[in-house]
Amino acid sequence: MKIKRSLLFLSGIIFFLCCVGIIISVTSLDGTRSYAQTDAGATVQTVAPDKISSVKSAKADCVDLSGAESQSSTVGSIFVHGALSWIDDDGIAHPLRGVKVIINNRESYNNSPVYIDHPVVMCIADDNGKFSVEIDNACGPLNIVARVYAGDDNVIVKRSNSTKDEYFVNSDVHENVMVGEHVYLTVSENMNSEEGQALQISQALLTARDFVAEMTGSQPASVYASYPGLGSNCNYSRSRREISILKMNAISTGNLPNSYASWDVIMHEYGHHIEYELGIIESVGGTHCFDENDADVLGNKLNGIQLSWSEAWATVFGLVAQNYYGNYLKDIRYVNDTYYDSYKFSKRYDIENVAQRIYGEAGEGCICAVLWDLFDGGVEKNDTIELGYQAFWNVTTSNGIKTFSEFINQFYSLYPEYVNAVGANLTYYSMASTLPEINNVKDISISTAPTFSWVAQGGSARFPNDRFNLVIYDDSGSEILRTGDINTTAYTLTQNEWNKVLIANSQCFTASVVSYSTKSVLTGGYYTDRCEKIYKPTQINKSWTIKKTDRYNEDIISLSAGQFIDYRTTFEAGEQKIIQTFGVADTCIFVYDTDGRLMSYDYNSGYGANAYIFLDINPKTVIVRVRLENNRIGGTFKLAIVNVREDYDIGCEYGNLNYFYDGEQYSTYKDCVNVYTFVATEYRRNITLTVDADFDSYLYFIDPRSTDSISSDYNRPCVFNDDGAGNLQAKIVKKNLTVGVTYFVVVGPYNPSTQSGHFSLNIS
Amino acid sequence: MKKLIGIMLTLLMSLGFVFCMACGQNGGTGGGTADDPYAHIPAEYRFKLPVEEYEPDRVCGDTSTGEACAYRSSKTEFDKNDVTLSFYFGTYFVYDDAQTQLERSPFRDYPFLDLYCKAYKPVGTLFEQTGEHFIKRNNGRYISEHYDKYKAIFVCNSHWQLTEIIFNTKEVIKIPAELFTESEGFISFQIRAPHLLDENNIQTFNSVIINYRLEEDKVIIQDDMKIQY
C-alpha cells in the first residue's frame, strides 16, 4: 500500500511539474532526480522537472498530489524572494551565484517527523545570490522552504557515498504562507559543515563552467564533483565525468586555502573536463610538479609534453576564468590573482613570475607562465602580447592541440606578427634557444661573414634542443635568409648567404634562431626574439631604374675605407648592358641576383684601374656592388650603365672598345645606344664629333679618368650634346685631349625606346 | 566518536600527493634480483602501496611538491611516556646522479631539513593544532651533500601507477608525552625545508599523520605504518 502510494505521489508530481511549468530561470537546465536525507533524519522526496524552460512567471496548480486535504481553496499568487550567501574561512560573506534553488511546499503528517517536500518552483540564483519567484495560481496556504543546491543541473557537488547524493542546504520553513503574501528567505552557510564547503566548491565550478559557456557560446557537458574525494589527491575521471576534491586542511603553513577553498585546484580539475570535451588532452597520468621537466621525470618525451600541456592549460584556464569574473571574486582570498594556491603547497606559486624557468616545453610552470603572458596585458620585460579572453581561448583550444609544441605552431600560424614577440618568453622559459650572438662582430666585412652562436636550451636534460635554423631579417623584420638545418650551436654564414644579407635593401639586419628537439618525437620550432640590429659593414644602398628611354646613366660617389655600395638596379628593357666605372680609383664591380648569387664580377677590365662588365640579362633587378679594390683606402668613382645591343650585322659596336671609323654607317637598335672608343693622338687632340643620322641624335663624350658629371659645357671632361648640326644632329667640340687616353663615345637617338635608324659618326 | 574517527581517518589518509615515477628509474643498484632489483634493501625501508584499478582516462592528481614521508611501528599500544616510532623520509630525484639533479633543480638543494612533531585535535569537520615539538635540524645541502640520504626510490608499474616507495633514511623519534592531550587526535610528523635566509619561507613540506587514542596513560595508535607522498 505504501509503495502504491509513493508511486502515485511521484507520478502525480511529475505530471504536475511537467504540465504547469513554473519557473524562473536564467538558464535552461536539464532535469535531475534526487533523493536526500534531511538533517533531522526524516525522509524527504524531491522530484525535479525533466525540462524547465525560461519563463519569468511561475505558476502552480492547486493539485492535491499527496492525497492530503487542501487547507484552503483560495487561488492566487505567492511571491518568494531569496538571498543566498556563503561565508568563507575569513568570515566574509559572498553571494551564492548561479546555484539551483527549488521552492518546496512542505507537508508533514500529523506532527510526525516525516514530511514531504513538494517541489513547486525551480530557479537559479542571480549574480547577487538572489532570486524572486511568483507562484501563480497557488493554492495557499503553503509551507515554503527553499532547497539550495551546491551547483545546478550542469555542474553539481555530490557526496562521495555510493548513491552520490547531491549537497543541498534548506532554508527555514515559512509556514502558512497565504495567497498574495511575499516570503523572504535567506540562506547563509559557513565552512563549518561539508554542505557549506560543497557550496564553495560549487562556486568555483560554476565560475569555470560559465567562463567556458561565455567563450564557446554553449553550455559544456555536465560534470559532478564528489566531496570529500577518496584517494590521495584531487583529480578528474573522464569515464565517470567526476571531479574528486579531497577534504583537507592546509596544515603546512596555515597561510594557504583549505582544499574546498582551493579554487585554483578545483577549477584546474574542471579544466581537465573541458580539455576532454575539446579534445586537447592526451595525458597518460604520472606525477607532475610545476618545477620539473615531465619528459625527464617520465623518461618519455611524448608522455611528458602531453602531461605538461594538459596540466598547464588546466591551471591557466582556471586563473583566466577567475580573472574574467574578477569583479565578483575580488573579496575571496587566493582567488583572482596570478598565484596558483593549493592546500598541499607550502607556498604560493606565482605563474606571472615563475622562479624556475629551465624546464621548457615539458615544464608545467614554464608553460603556465608563457600562456599567462600571452593572455594578460603585457607589462613585463619579455611580454608585449595581450590576447585577451576570447583570442586566448580560441588559440589554445582549437584543432585538438595536445602539446605546447603543437600550440606554438598554431599560434605562429594565427599570429605571424607575434612570432618573434613571443620569442623572448620562449627563450626565458627555455623552450627556445638563447638569442643568437655574433662572435666576430668587430671583424665582419664584405668578405668576412658573421659567426653566430647560441645556447640550445629546451628544458630537458634528456631531450634538449638539438637542431636549429638561423633566420636573418632586414630592418623592417622581413625575412632575408633562412639557413638549412644546423646541428651545432654556432654557425658562420656562407659567402653566398652573407651576400644575400648584404645586398638586401636594408642598412641593418637582425637574426633569430628556430630550435627543434628531434629526439623521440620532433618538437618545435621555437623562435627566439630577434637580436639587436646589426649594421652591415659600412654599406651604402641605392636603388635606380634604367629606363627604356635612358641613353646613358651615371652615378658619382665617394667611399671611405672599407665601404661599399650596392645599387639595386632594375632594367626596364634591353638585354645587354655595359656596367663600368670611371675615375682614377681602383674599383671592382660585382653583380648579384636578388638571391645573392654572384652573376659577374670584374676588377680591372675598364680604363686604367676601372672595372668593366658586359652583361647579357633580360629585364630584371640585380644588385651592382662597387667597392675599392683596396678596402683600406677610400676614393671617388663614377658608375655608368648603358643599354646596348650585340648585333654586328647592323654595325652596333660596344664594349670591345673598338674604335669607331670616321664616316662609317652604323645603325642603332630599339631601346639601345651605341658605344665606341676614341683614342686621342697628336693629330687628333682637338676634334669635332658630329652625328649624321636620320633620327634625332644624342652624343656623349666621356673622359674615363674623370668623375665629373656630364655637362653641356664642352670645356668639362664629360660632355653631352643634343641638337648640333642642323636641327637634329648632335655635335661635340673637344679641345686639348690627352694623347693616348681612350675616351668613350656614346651615340644614340633622343629616345631609344621609340627611335632608331642609320647614322654616321664623323670626326674632324 | 567512531564516526568522527572514521572521518578523520579518511581525511588524513588523503593527505598528500601522488608521485608516480618511471619504473625502477631511480635506483636499482647492485644486490637485487631480476624480479626485484631492490631485494638487497632492508624490508623496513620499503613501503608497498595499494594500487587502484587502472583507469586509462583518469587524469593524474593535482600538482605536487615532491617529498615523501612515512612511519612504521612494531606495536600499536604504547606507554604515554614512551611513544617511539621510526620515521622515514626522502624525495624523488629525477636523475640518477647528484650532479645532473643539482644542475636541473638547483633550487631544491635545500640547506636544512627540519623535523617536527605537531599535535592536532578535531574541530568540526577539520582540526586545530594543540602542540608542537621540534625534533632536529638536519644540516647540509639536500642534493649536493646528502643526495643518497634523501633520495627515495619511487617504483611504478607500466601504467605509471606508484606501487612502492623505498626510503634511504630513517629517524627513530620519541614523541613527547605532552603532545598527547586529547582523548582522540593525531600527531603530524613533518619535514620542512626553510629558506637559508628566511626561516618562515618554507621551501618544501610534507607530513605523515599518526592517529591516536588516549586511554589513561596508554596511547593507542590506529595504524602500525603509514606513508604519505
Residue A293: pLDDT over 90:
yes
On whether residue A370 sits in a domain, the answer given is yes
The partner residue sitting opposite A289, judged by closest CB among B16, B65, B205, is B65
Residue A508: pLDDT over 70:
yes
Contacts of B65 in chain A (CB under 8 A): 289, 344-346
Q: Does B39 touch chain A (CB under 8 A)?
A: no
**According to the model, what pLDDT value does residue A165 have?**
94
Mutate to test the interface with A, among B17, B62, B190 (most CBs of A within 10 A): B62
Mutate to test the interface with B, among A87, A160, A234, A251 (most CBs of B within 10 A): A251
In the predicted model, what is the mean pLDDT of residues A239-256?
81
Q: How confident is the model at residue B26 (pLDDT cuts 50, 70, 90)?
A: very low
Cβ separation A247–B10 shorter than 8 A: yes
**According to the model, what pLDDT value does residue B154 have?**
87
In the predicted model, what is the mean pLDDT of residues A105-118?
83
Q: Does B227 touch chain A (CB under 8 A)?
A: no
**According to the model, what pLDDT value does residue A460 have?**
96
Q: Name the least confident of A289-303, A450-464, A496-510.
A: A496-510
**According to the model, what pLDDT value does residue A553 have?**
93
In the predicted model, what is the mean pLDDT of residues A382-411?
95
Which residue in chain B is spatially nearest to A365 when comparing CA positions? B63
In the predicted model, what is the mean pLDDT of residues A395-417?
96
Picking from A611, A644, A677, the residue at the C-terminal end of a domain is: A644
Q: Does A293 touch chain B (CB under 8 A)?
A: yes
Q: How many CA atoms lie within 13 A of A296 on its CB side?
A: 27
Judged by DSSP in three states, A553 sits in strand
Q: Does A298 touch chain B (CB under 8 A)?
A: yes
Q: Which residues pair with A760 in a beta bridge?
A: A665, A692
Q: Name the least confident of A96-110, A491-505, A634-648.
A: A634-648
**According to the model, what pLDDT value does residue A50 have?**
34
Task: Clarify whether residues A520 and A545 are in a common domain.
Answer: no
Q: Does B157 touch chain A (CB under 8 A)?
A: no
- What part of A 166-195 touches B (C-beta under 8 Å)? 192-194
Range of the domain at A354: 221-426
**According to the model, what pLDDT value does residue A176 have?**
92
Contacts of A247 in chain B (CB under 8 A): 10-11, 14, 125
Cβ separation B59–A281 shorter than 8 A: yes
Judged by DSSP in three states, A497 sits in helix
Task: Give A132: exposed, middle or buried? Use CB within 10 Å, 0-12, 13-18, 19+.
Answer: middle
* Cβ atoms of residues A290 and A383 within 8 Å: no
Residue B11: pLDDT over 60:
no
Rounded to whole angstroms, the Cα distance separating B117 from B173 reads 9
Rounded to whole angstroms, the Cα distance separating A367 from A373 reads 10
In the predicted model, what is the mean pLDDT of residues A81-95?
95
Higher pLDDT among residues A645 and A311, named by residue: A311
Q: Does B137 touch chain A (CB under 8 A)?
A: no
What is the least distance, in Å, from the CA of A467 to any CA of chain B?
Answer: 21
Task: Clarify whether residues A277 and A306 are in a common domain.
Answer: yes
Cβ separation A286–B66 shorter than 8 A: no
Contacts of A286 in chain B (CB under 8 A): 20-21, 60, 156, 160
DSSP string, A297-320: HHT-HHHHHHHHHHHHHHHHHHHH
* Cβ atoms of residues A743 and A704 within 8 Å: yes
Q: Name the least confident of A162-176, A191-205, A580-594, B39-53.
A: B39-53
Residue A7: pLDDT over 60:
no
Q: How confident is the model at residue A716 (pLDDT cuts 50, 70, 90)?
A: very high
On whether residue A207 sits in a domain, the answer given is no
Which among B136, B213, B224 has a CA at the least distance from the CA of B180? B213
Sorted by where each begins, the domain ranges of chain B are: 2-30+38-50+64-228
The partner residue sitting opposite A284, judged by closest CB among B66, B95, B160, is B160
Q: Does A356 touch chain B (CB under 8 A)?
A: yes
Rounded to whole angstroms, the Cα distance separating B178 from B155 reads 38
Cβ separation A344–B62 shorter than 8 A: yes
What is the least distance, in Å, from the CA of A297 to any CA of chain B?
Answer: 5
Which residue in chain B is spatially nearest to A283 when comparing CA positions? B59
Q: Does B124 touch chain A (CB under 8 A)?
A: yes
Q: Does B4 touch chain A (CB under 8 A)?
A: no
Which residue in chain B is spatially nearest to A196 when comparing CA positions? B125
Contacts of A269 in chain B (CB under 8 A): 59, 62
Task: Clarify whether residues A339 and A442 are in a common domain.
Answer: no
Q: How confident is the model at residue B20 (pLDDT cuts 50, 70, 90)?
A: very low
Q: Does A223 touch chain B (CB under 8 A)?
A: no
Contacts of B129 in chain A (CB under 8 A): 251
Q: Which helix (H) or strand (E) covers residue A50, if one does?
A: none
Cβ separation A247–B14 shorter than 8 A: yes
What is the least distance, in Å, from the CA of B153 to any CA of chain A?
Answer: 13
Residue A657: pLDDT over 50:
no
Helix ranges restricted to H, A378-518: 388-397, 404-414, 423-428, 495-503
Higher pLDDT among residues A728 and A593, named by residue: A593
Rounded to whole angstroms, the Cα distance separating A456 from A454 reads 6
Q: Which helix (H) or strand (E) covers residue B43, if one does?
A: none
- What part of A 86-145 touches B (C-beta under 8 Å)? none
Q: Is ipTM over 0.85? A: no
**According to the model, what pLDDT value does residue B13 have?**
38
Contacts of A258 in chain B (CB under 8 A): 126
DSSP tag of A560? -
Q: Does B31 touch chain A (CB under 8 A)?
A: no
Neighbour-count burial for A192-202, b at 16+ CB within 10 Å, e otherwise: eebbbbbbbbb
Residue A141: pLDDT over 90:
no
**According to the model, what pLDDT value does residue A499 have?**
86
**According to the model, what pLDDT value does residue B31 have?**
65
Q: Does B188 touch chain A (CB under 8 A)?
A: yes
Contacts of B57 in chain A (CB under 8 A): 237-239, 276
Mean pLDDT for chain B overall: 83
On whether residue A201 sits in a domain, the answer given is no
Task: Clarify whether residues A577 and A638 are in a common domain.
Answer: yes
**According to the model, what pLDDT value does residue A382 have?**
78
What is the least distance, in Å, from the CA of B75 to any CA of chain A?
Answer: 25
Residue A195: pLDDT over 50:
yes
**According to the model, what pLDDT value does residue A655 have?**
42
Higher pLDDT among residues A302 and A239, named by residue: A302
DSSP string, A15-26: HHHHHH--B--S
Which residue in chain A is spatially nearest to B200 when comparing CA positions? A253
Cβ separation B61–A232 shorter than 8 A: yes
Amino acid at A186: T
Which residue in chain A is spatially nearest to B51 when comparing CA positions? A231
Q: Give residue-wise pLDDT tens across range A513-569.
A: 999 999 999 999 999 999 999 988 877 888 999 988 888 999 999 887 778 899 999
Cβ separation A284–B192 shorter than 8 A: no
Share of chain A above pLDDT 90, in %: 55
Q: How confident is the model at residue A654 (pLDDT cuts 50, 70, 90)?
A: very low
What is the least distance, in Å, from the CA of B32 to any CA of chain A?
Answer: 22
Q: How confident is the model at residue A204 (pLDDT cuts 50, 70, 90)?
A: very high
Mutate to test the interface with B, among A189, A197, A232 (most CBs of B within 10 A): A232
The partner residue sitting opposite B62, judged by closest CB among A228, A253, A265, is A265
Cβ separation A287–B21 shorter than 8 A: yes
Task: Clarify whether residues A488 and A564 are in a common domain.
Answer: no
Give me the number of domains chain A comprises: 5
Q: Give residue-wise pLDDT tens across range A343-357.
A: 888 788 999 988 889
Q: Which helix (H) or strand (E) covers residue B4, if one does?
A: helix B2-13
On whether residue A756 sits in a domain, the answer given is yes
Q: Does B35 touch chain A (CB under 8 A)?
A: no
Cβ separation B100–A461 shorter than 8 A: yes
**According to the model, what pLDDT value does residue A72 have?**
44
Share of chain B above pLDDT 70, in %: 85
Which residue in chain A is spatially nearest to B228 when comparing CA positions? A232
Cβ separation A288–B205 shorter than 8 A: no
Q: Which residues contact B170 (CB under 8 A, 6 or more apart)?
A: B44, B45, B86, B87, B88
Judged by DSSP in three states, A602 sits in strand
Cβ separation B19–A287 shorter than 8 A: yes
Picking from A530, A563, A580, the residue at the C-terminal end of a domain is: A530
Q: Does B50 touch chain A (CB under 8 A)?
A: no
**According to the model, what pLDDT value does residue A254 have?**
56
Residue B2: pLDDT over 60:
no
- What part of B 54-93 touches A (C-beta under 8 Å)? 55, 57-66, 92
Higher pLDDT among residues A592 and A653, named by residue: A592
Task: Clarify whether residues A576 and A595 are in a common domain.
Answer: yes
What count of CB pairs under 8 Å joins A to B?
166
For residue A611, give the CATH number of its domain: 2.60.120.380
Mean pLDDT for chain A overall: 84
On whether residue A142 sits in a domain, the answer given is yes
Q: Give residue-wise pLDDT tens across range B48-107.
A: 988 877 777 777 677 777 789 999 999 999 999 999 999 999 998 889 899 999 999 888
Share of chain A above pLDDT 70, in %: 85
DSSP tag of B126? E
For residue A481, give the CATH number of its domain: 2.60.40.10
Picking from A530, A559, A591, the residue at the C-terminal end of a domain is: A530
Higher pLDDT among residues A411 and A644, named by residue: A411
Higher pLDDT among residues A315 and A247, named by residue: A315
